[in-house]
Amino acid sequence: MMDTEQLGTHISKQFNTDLENLREEVLAMGGIVEEQITLALDAFTNNDSDIADKVIANEKMVNAKEMKIDEACTKVLAKRQPAAGDLRLIVTILKTITDLERMGDEAEKVARMAKALANKELATAHVKLHYGALLHLGNHVKKMLHDSLDAFARMDVESAINVAKLDNQADEEYNAISRQLITYMMEEPRRISEVLDFMWSARALERIGDHANNICEYVVYLVQGEDVRHKSWDEMQRLAKDE
């Protein structure tokens, strides 16, 4: 459930309801994107074209959710003319749904690459050795997404910062996968096409981690009113202590 204590109350009960509905819609959209990532990973690790097709088809749901929330935010801005914390909430929601939509795009990319590999019936043992690494990276960034949404729901700056710190691990895992596969492509140039599909999938997952990191920065902005996109973790941590 969304922590609403920090937002205060308004004379208009409908305004409170509108804000609460917007927050719940963001979390619902996040849940859809989480499921998309889960299915994309399943499609990839099981070479399942049917699951991949489901992810591709469901991308329309993510896009529709973004448009619905965007329109609702526009109506609130026009009708209520929110200020201070309420305005920051609307801005945070608009930015968050953009990142969620892009995560959905990245999950779709993984699904498309999974379908391409399944259709090629890739049987290269060396490449398949890295499926576990890709699955680990995928689960890592999916947890980052889940925890960033939890920090948003609870308006928890410290949790948001802790999740943002995990982005380095995602980068390191992606870089390790890339180095190993580049070496393999040099040794087996005939497999470059298949390996590139694998690498693009790893890159898409790494980008999901970046978007989860963005959501964490928005949480700090929402609660503290401070833009921390170019601040260090130490500076962000000091903000959390000042909360």
pLDDT tens per residue across span 89-138: 999 999 999 999 999 999 999 999 988 877 765 545 555 667 889 999 99
241: its two tokens: 């202590």
How much is the pLDDT for 1? 45
How much is the pLDDT for 13? 75
Query: Which has the closest alpha carbon to 141: 209, 45, 215, 199?
Result: 209
Residues of the chain with pLDDT under 70: 1-12, 120-129, 229-243
Residue in this structure with the two tokens 């399942």, named with its chain if needed: 48
Residue in this structure with the two tokens 């980068």, named with its chain if needed: 171
How much is the pLDDT for 168? 93
How much is the pLDDT for 116? 85
How much is the pLDDT for 123? 46
223: Cβ–Cβ under 8 A, 6 or more apart, which residues?
Answer: 6, 155, 157, 243
How much is the pLDDT for 215? 96
pLDDT in tens, 224-236: 887 776 666 666 6
Tell me how far apart the alpha carbons of residues 127 and 184 are, in angstroms, rounded to a whole number.
8
94: its two tokens: 């608009």
How much is the pLDDT for 118? 77
The SS3 assignment for 102 reads helix
How much is the pLDDT for 74? 94
